[in-house]
């Protein structure tokens, strides 16, 4: 039996950060807990918050379960997460600049060239482009797991169009209504300046020829998209237009939206559609979602695209292994948040190790996401393992393996009452010109099924509010 790290309790008992929450849960009857829980769900449903988290499939109108019990970080813990996430984001952006620029990282033999150029997310059209402020990925979601008091690991980076931030803000909104007492002491750091932070970062990377206040917009695939709620939510909190491809056109290498007053120029476009659909002239010809000529305007410096096309080359599971080295190479620093130990099946000796130890390992597809196409050794039958071994043998380069992590737990409200459930954390790091920052909070996903280590909403995962305290206790 593996001992999991309980974030609420250690040997000395309930930790100070959780003292008030634990007392509240203790004093509140299970009926009332359930009542509050359904109140919270009602609020979500009324606001129409239905969407899937980045890369996950499933019913787009589904509500992701909300768990009433918050996850709490004290200042000291958060300090590590904050510095570590910012460091990681800076290194990833430096790597992207290098990939599409001088290629020094490759030349120094730090990463095989085939992992960059053979990567489906690598966009040759970006070669030689230097985005404003040298930022490729303005919004990075860093997926973190915890296995002990000081043991945080990065599980995955999301450099393309990470979603889930609207949940962070809405979770807080709902919690402030359900447990107002907890917020009275002012110890829980607010998160609602996310919109301002993102808008400021977007403005800072406006094209050089923009005089006056830059016009920002969010590009959505449309209201049939599963993350549409988040797109409109973001447009709303930033007070900017939510546009679709059909609203936009390019002229004289500048991007315009069609308004009732005539064309209006857009300086910075936060796109929430994939690279492949951005511009039928540059990428997929059949794309109806994008804007013909957008890449032309981008290359001419007429518009800034957030996040830049081709940023995905930094975030897949094969590149992941090299991020600690990126931190050392580009920043001259030691990684604050280490990677999870990872074996690449493409490597012969590592492949052998993986095949010999499958029952203890987690094996994932290099480009996969959403908790699909993976093997969790300790939770699988012999037959399942044998079947998966066949898949790996057929295409070793498509797989990486990691030890099965003893993910930390936080008490969650489930049918039987309060019970420990495994969690992860996705802070959202925002990079503008000369500034990398994040709000004190992030998306905590929780595996609501007993014993489950998969937090993805498509696999029975839910979300919690994440509290970052000013000090050590509420």
Partner 1 sequence: MLSRTAQGLYWMSRYVERAENNARLLDAGRRIEGLPGAEAAGNTEWPSIIIAAGCRETFGEERLDEADRDSATFHLAFDPENSSSILSCFAAARENARAMRGAVTSEVWTAINGTWSELRKLDMKAVDERRYADFIESVLGASFHFRGAINATLLRDERLWFIELGKHIERADATARMLDVKYHVLLPKTDEVGAGLDLLQWQQILRAANALRAFRHVYREQVSAPRVVDLLVVNSQSPRSLRYTYEAICDNIDNIGVHTKAQRAVADHAREIRDRLRVADAHDIIDFGLHEWLTDMIMETNKLANALGESYGFFSQVDRDAADEEVEDSSKLETCTQ
In the complex, which residues of this chain contact partner 1 (CB under 8 A)? 46-48, 222-223, 232, 235-236, 241-244, 246-247, 257-262
Q: In 3D, which of 7, 167, 152 has the Cα closest to residue 85? A: 152
Closer residue to partner 1 (CB): 236 or 472: 236
Please give the backbone phi and psi of residue 9, each rounded to the nearest 5 degrees, phi first: -125, 140
Cα 408 to chain centroid, rounded: 19
Closer residue to partner 1 (CB): 292 or 324: 292
Closer residue to partner 1 (CB): 258 or 352: 258
- Measured between alpha carbons, how far is 437 from 429 in angstroms, rounded to an integer? 6
Contacts of residue 296, Cβ cutoff 8 Å, sequence gap at least 6: 250, 253, 279, 281, 282
Q: In 3D, which of 83, 74, 54, 134 has the Cα closest to residue 437? A: 83
Closer residue to partner 1 (CB): 79 or 236: 236
**Residue 465 Cβ, how far from partner 1 at the closest point, in Å?**
22
Closer residue to partner 1 (CB): 107 or 258: 258
Closer residue to partner 1 (CB): 242 or 273: 242
Q: Residue holding tokens 């009433």?
A: 68
Closer residue to partner 1 (CB): 257 or 474: 257
What is the b/e burial string over 184-209, where b = at least 16 CB atoms within 10 angstroms of the residue's CB? eeebbeebeebbebbbbbbbbbbbee
Q: In 3D, which of 224, 208, 207, 225 has the Cα closest to residue 216? A: 207
- The number of helices, as runs of H, and strands, as runs of E, in the chain is 14, 22
**Residue 94 Cβ, how far from partner 1 at the closest point, in Å?**
36
**Residue 246 Cβ, how far from partner 1 at the closest point, in Å?**
6
**Residue 166 Cβ, how far from partner 1 at the closest point, in Å?**
13
**Residue 219 Cβ, how far from partner 1 at the closest point, in Å?**
12
**Residue 256 Cβ, how far from partner 1 at the closest point, in Å?**
11
**Residue 222 Cβ, how far from partner 1 at the closest point, in Å?**
7
Q: What are the DSSP E strand ranges found in 321-395?
A: 343-344, 361-365, 375-376
Cβ–Cβ under 8 Å, residues 471 and 463: no
Q: What Cα–Cα distance (Å) separates residue 148 from each residue in 9, 10, 406, 408, 466? A: 12, 10, 9, 7, 18
């Amino acid at each position: 039996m593996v001992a999991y790290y309980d974030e609420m309790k250690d040997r000395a008992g309930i930790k100070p950060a959780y003292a008030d929450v634990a007392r509240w849960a203790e004093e509140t009857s299970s009926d009332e807990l359930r009542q509050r829980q359904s109140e919270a769900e009602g609020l979500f449903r009324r606001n129409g918050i239905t969407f899937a988290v980045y890369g996950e499939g499933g019913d787009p109108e589904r509500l992701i379960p909300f768990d009433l019990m918050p996850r709490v970080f004290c200042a000291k813990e958060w300090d590590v997460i904050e510095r570590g996430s910012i460091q990681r984001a800076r290194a990833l952006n430096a790597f992207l600049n290098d990939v599409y620029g001088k290629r020094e990282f490759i030349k120094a033999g730090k990463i095989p060239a085939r992992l960059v150029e053979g990567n489906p997310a690598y966009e040759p059209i970006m070669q030689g482009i230097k985005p404003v402020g040298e930022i490729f990925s303005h919004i990075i979601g860093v997926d973190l797991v915890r296995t002990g008091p000081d043991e945080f690991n990065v599980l995955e980076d999301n450099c393309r169009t990470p979603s889930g931030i609207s949940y962070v803000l809405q979770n807080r909104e709902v919690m402030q209504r359900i447990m107002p007492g907890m917020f009275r002491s002012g110890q829980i750091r607010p998160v609602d300046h996310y919109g301002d932070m993102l808008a400021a970062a977007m403005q800072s990377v406006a094209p050089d020829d923009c005089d006056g206040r830059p016009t920002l917009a969010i590009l959505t695939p449309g209201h049939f998209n599963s993350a549409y709620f988040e797109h409109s939510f973001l447009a709303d909190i930033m007070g900017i237009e939510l546009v679709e491809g059909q609203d936009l056109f390019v002229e004289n290498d500048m991007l315009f939206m069609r308004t009732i007053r005539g064309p209006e120029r857009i300086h910075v476009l936060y796109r929430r559609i994939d690279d492949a659909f951005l511009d039928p002239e540059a990428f997929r010809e059949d794309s109806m979602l994008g804007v013909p000529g957008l890449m032309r305007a981008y290359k001419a410096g007429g518009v800034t695209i957030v996040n830049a096309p081709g940023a995905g080359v930094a975030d897949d599971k094969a590149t992941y292994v090299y991020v600690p080295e990126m931190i050392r190479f580009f920043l001259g620093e030691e990684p604050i948040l280490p990677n999870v130990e990872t074996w690449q099946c493409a490597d012969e000796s590592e492949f052998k190790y993986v095949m010999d130890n499958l029952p203890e390992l987690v094996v994932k597809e290099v480009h996969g996401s959403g908790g699909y196409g993976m093997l969790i050794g300790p939770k699988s039958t012999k037959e399942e393992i044998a079947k998966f071994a066949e898949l790996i043998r057929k295409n070793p380069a498509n797989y990486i393996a990691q030890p099965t992590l003893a993910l930390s737990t936080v008490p969650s409200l489930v049918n039987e009452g309060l019970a420990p459930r495994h969690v992860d954390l996705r802070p959202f790091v925002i990079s503008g010109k000369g500034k990398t920052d994040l709000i004190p909070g992030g998306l905590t996903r929780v595996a609501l099924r007993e014993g489950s280590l998969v937090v993805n909403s498509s696999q029975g995962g839910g979300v919690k509010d994440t509290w970052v305290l000013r000090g050590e206790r509420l």
